[in-house]
Structure 1
Amino acid sequence: MPGVFVHRRDTHYADEPYRQYQFPKAYLSRASQFEGDWAVYYEPVKAGGRGFYAVAWVEQIVPDPTREGHYLALIKPDTYLDFAHNVPRTIDGELVESGLANAQAAVRPLSTQDFVRIINLGLGDDESALPRVGDAVVPLAPSLSDNQRPFRFEQERIRAESLTSRIVRDRVFRTAVLAAYDKRCAITGLKFINGGGRAEVAAAHIRPVAAKGPDSVNNGLALSGTAHWMFDRGLISLDDDLSIIVSRHVNDTESLDRLLRPDRKAIEPLDPALRPHPSFLAWHRENVFKM
Structure 2
Amino acid sequence: MRAVIGVTDNRWAEFLRARPHLTEANFWLPSGKEAFKALQPGEPFLFKTHWPENRLVGAGFYSGFDIFNVREAWELFGEGNGVASMDELAQSIARYRKAPPDVGASIGCVLLRDLFFLPPEETLAAPSDFAKNIVRFKGYDLLGAGAHVDLMFETMLRRAEIRINDETGAPTTVPGPVFGRDRLMKARIGQQAFKGLVLTSYERRCAITGNHIQPTLEAAHIRPVSLAGENRLDNGLLLRSDVHTLFDLGYLSVNTRHELQVSPRLRQDWGNGQEFYERAGRVINVPQVRANRPDRGAIEWHLDTIFLR
Length-normalised TM-score, structure 1: 0.48
**Normalising by the residue count of structure 2, what TM-score does the alignment of the two structures yield?**
0.46
